[in-house]
Amino acid sequence: MQCWLDARELSVHTPTLAAALQAARHAAQALARVIVEVHVNDRPLTEDELDDPSHDPIPGAQVRFVSAEPRSLVRTTLLEMADVLIASDEPHQRAAEHFQRGQSKPAFAELQAVLSVWENARRAVHEGPALLGIDLAHVLVGDHPDADSDADPDADAPATPASRSAKAVPLPQRIDELNATLAQLKSAIEGEDWATVADVLGHDLRRAAAVWAGVLRDVAAHVAARR
């Protein structure tokens, strides 16, 4: 088995994915980097395969690990997720309209897409900073306008740490607000209260998506400014 971390060939004593992954993680840690992709014979591995790596011998395999600098990785992930939230405005609205019209099949399909966006956003804001040892309780974010605000902030403007703003609020406050809105949506779904489901999707969560795009950009700026 041949094994590389980026352009560096690694020595692996046992020709298994588990052994290769262990060697690559040790090598990446020594370089202050994290593994972001794994390919075996040019096939990208899934998260499930990496969570439970095989101990079966693969002597002729070529295993390639791709690594990244953690701070750059986290910042990029947060900024990309902010863009995804902005793009989710129409799916939120479509889901709400389907529920209003009683169109259950497309409604639930759009709902799953929306919930997937929010799950990824929550993971980004929790797991990214955690990777860098950042305590979310110490992160401040701006008081961002929602989707119905008259304000028209320049989404392409470079973000700066929200600690410089007089309207900065603790990140946990924004997380609690989002959790409350998602809990309201869950309760309405469980109670088959489709009018409330439509209202939460078309108003509360749609507004939250605009707010959280700004929140994630602020967290990305905090990550970039951290030394």
Residues 92-143: pLDDT tens digits? 999 999 999 999 999 999 999 999 999 999 999 999 999 999 999 999 998 8
**DSSP structure class, residue 15:** -
Predicted pLDDT of residue 161: 55
Same structural domain, 45 and 115 = no
> Which residue among 24, 50, 68 closes a domain?
68
Confidence at 150, pLDDT banded by 50, 70, 90: very low
Q: What pLDDT was estimated at residue 162?
A: 55
| Per-residue model confidence (pLDDT) at position 167 | 78
User: Under 8 Å CB-to-CB from 115, ≥6 apart: which residues?
Assistant: none
The Cα–Cα gap between 115 and 119 comes to: 6
pLDDT at position 154 is: 45
Residues 55 and 160 in one domain: no
At residue 69 the predicted structure's pLDDT band, cuts being 50, 70 and 90, is very high
Residue type, 200: V
Q: Are 111 and 174 part of one and the same domain?
A: yes
User: Are 33 and 144 members of one domain?
Assistant: no
| Strand ranges for 43-170 from DSSP E | 43-44, 62-68, 140-141, 169-170
116 with 221, same domain: the answer is yes
Q: How many domains, in total, are found in the chain?
A: 2
Residues 219 and 174 in one domain: yes
- Helices 70-87 and 205-225 pack at an angle, to 10 degrees, of 160
- Confidence label for 226 from pLDDT (cuts 50, 70 and 90): confident
Tell me which residue range forms the domain holding 42: 2-68
Mean pLDDT of the chain: 91
Question: Any idea which residue has 């869950």 for tokens?
Answer: 186
CA-based radius of gyration for the chain? 21
Read off the pLDDT of each residue in 14-39 and give the average, rounded to a whole number.
Answer: 96
Average pLDDT of the segment spanning 203-217:
96
Cβ contact 129:218 at 8 Å: no
- Of 16, 40, 68, at which residue does a domain stop? 68
Q: Does the global pTM surpass 0.75?
A: yes
Chain-centroid distance, C-alpha 60: 35
Among the candidates 16, 46, 68, a domain finishes at 68
1-12 mean pLDDT: 96
Instruction: For residue 22, give the amino acid letter.
Output: Q
Residue 66 in 3-state DSSP?
strand
